[in-house]
Amino acid sequence: MIFSSVTFLFLFLPITLLLYYLVPQKAKNTVLLLASLLFYAWGEPVYVILMLYSILLNYGMGLLMDRVPRAKKEILAFTVIINLLMLGFFKYYGFLVENINALFRLNLPVRTLALPIGISFYTFQALSYDIDLYRGKFPVQKNLIKFATYITMFPQLIAGPIVRYEDVEAQMGPRKLSLARFGKGAVRFIIGLAKKVLLANLTGAVFDSVHASGAAVSTLSAWIGAVSYTFQIYFDFSGYSDMAIGLGQMLGFNFVENFNYPYAAESVTDFWRRWHISLSTWFREYVYIPLGGNRVKVWKHIRNILVVWMLTGLWHGASWNFVLWGLYYGILLLLEKYVFLKWKLPSAVRYVFTMIFVIIGWVIFSADSVPQILTALSSMFGFAENGFVDGTALYLLKSNAFLLLAAAFFSLPLLKKPLKRLKESSAAAIYYLFGFIFLLAILSCSIAFLVTENYNPFLYFRF
């Protein structure tokens, strides 16, 4: 099930919330677990069994590590390997066989399995539990329901954020609930829903129409398409995270933040501190630092960065364009660290270059194949089939100028300071009044679009 659907918003959510608030504190995790399993099974009626298997495996191995401390290391290694094999088999098997076939001119049968939605998210959550348990950061979780609830929690199950067990361990017990907390979650959820349904879907439709023209575009169209995708992926992904964090608050959880105005970044390094924070944190904690991080010789640091970023790319999908995308960022980050950031350029220049690099990154990311990356980039940099500007580009620009400007406005923290000042001033009533009206308006519009619009893509089916 996805958040931006009528089924979720008007059947699943109200019923789940009612049950969750009505049952006594002790039964709340059970309700949440059952609801989450239904939530997952709704989209993956078969693969829900795989998720249950993963829960039992990691729960059992945790208990075993606790019981047999001297074999802790071996048990961890075994658990990590099984988890990665499962992820590898369901996510990368087809990709691997295709490449082996191409490389050795073989004809091994490619069985393309449908990718279980969210497998990358819940596997990474389980791994964070296993590894940090081994590191002794917290005691073993003996309660299966609590453990299963942590893995399956529907707010973050299919599109993150990747919640590390360390961060929610204390919250698995009784949680404080109140109408004010619920309302705080509702504010966040409404904002996330509007980001997804209004901004992401509308900019996504612009990208799709350019994308569908293939090579037959002008330079201006190619840029409009790339910029539209840049906004689509941000509002879609951060919208999902907002909805997840909001739903978490409604249920009494505090999840980590996942986005912090990434398009306000003044360097690529800065961008990755603001984009999909929970994923970068995961890779830093469990791959980069164990490899030695940056406290090693330069060549080893370069190796570490490239390994981590290739894996980060691959995490986003079993396809070469994601590997290239990851390496692209690895190289950019290295260049920044060792070259660019020493140049002390004015911030406007740094900002423009960062955004251009980010947009090129999304072109690589959104392509269906490697040759398509080249087509799209050459269209953007002056070698477009339809010249610099054509009629379609002017039409796209005219009918989407307002949308793209609005998207740019909301992706930057332009209102953050003035609103904070207004909230703390004597005219705070205006802030609350308009805030309330604004939230109601965007909720109504989101529902209207959700009910009547068929275009509602889910971008994370390859994650």
CB of 14 to other proteins, least distance (A): 5
- Hey, what amino acid is at 213? S
Instruction: CB nearer to other proteins: give 175 or 181.
Output: 181
Chain positions 382 to 401 lying near other proteins, rule: CB under 8 A, are 391-392, 394-395, 398-401
Site string for other proteins, 187-226 (x = CB under 8 A): x-xx------------------x-----------------
**Residues with catalytic annotation?**
316
Among 77, 108, 110, 440, interactor with other proteins by CB under 8 A? 440
Q: In this structure, what token pair is assigned to residue 195?
A: 């980001």
Is 438 a binding residue for other proteins by CB under 8 A? The answer is: no
CB of 255 to other proteins, least distance (A): 17
Is 10 a binding residue for other proteins by CB under 8 A? The answer is: yes
Is 110 a binding residue for other proteins by CB under 8 A? The answer is: no
Q: How far apart are CA 44 and CA 152, in angstroms?
A: 13
Instruction: CB nearer to other proteins: give 107 or 454.
Output: 454
Among 116, 118, 185, 317, interactor with other proteins by CB under 8 A? 185
Interface stretch with other proteins, choices 72-80, 100-108, 162-170, 440-448 (CB under 8 A): 440-448
CB of 7 to other proteins, least distance (A): 5
Q: How far apart are CA 137 and CA 14, in angstroms?
A: 36
Is 414 a binding residue for other proteins by CB under 8 A? The answer is: no
Task: Yes or no: say if 258 and 241 are a contact pair by the CB < 8 Å rule.
Answer: yes
Is 1 a binding residue for other proteins by CB under 8 A? The answer is: yes
Task: Yes or no: say if 112 and 148 are a contact pair by the CB < 8 Å rule.
Answer: no
Q: How far apart are CA 315 and CA 322, in angstroms?
A: 8
Interface stretch with other proteins, choices 138-146, 166-174, 365-373, 443-451 (CB under 8 A): 443-451
Whole-angstrom CA distances from 186 to 193, 249, 250, 440, 441 are 10, 8, 7, 11, 14
Q: Exposed, middle or buried: residue 32 (CB in 10 Å: 0-12, 13-18, 19+)?
A: buried
Is 447 a binding residue for other proteins by CB under 8 A? The answer is: yes
Interface stretch with other proteins, choices 89-97, 179-187, 309-317, 339-347 (CB under 8 A): 179-187
CB of 218 to other proteins, least distance (A): 11
Task: Yes or no: say if 292 and 336 are a contact pair by the CB < 8 Å rule.
Answer: no
CB of 287 to other proteins, least distance (A): 34
Instruction: CB nearer to other proteins: give 72 or 181.
Output: 181
Q: Output the 3-class SS for 2-34.
A: CCCCHHHHHHHHHHHHHHHHHCCHHHHHHHHHH
Task: Yes or no: say if 266 and 350 are a contact pair by the CB < 8 Å rule.
Answer: yes
Neighbour count for residue 70 (Cβ, 10 Å): 6
Phi, psi of 425 (to 5 degrees): -85, -175
The secondary structure of residue 25, as a DSSP letter, is G
Q: What angle do CA 73, 79, 83 make, to 5 degrees?
A: 145
Interacting residues toward other proteins by CB under 8 A: 1, 5-7, 9-11, 13-14, 17, 42-43, 45-46, 179-187, 189-190, 209, 391-392, 394-395, 398-403, 406, 432, 435-436, 439-440, 443-445, 447-453
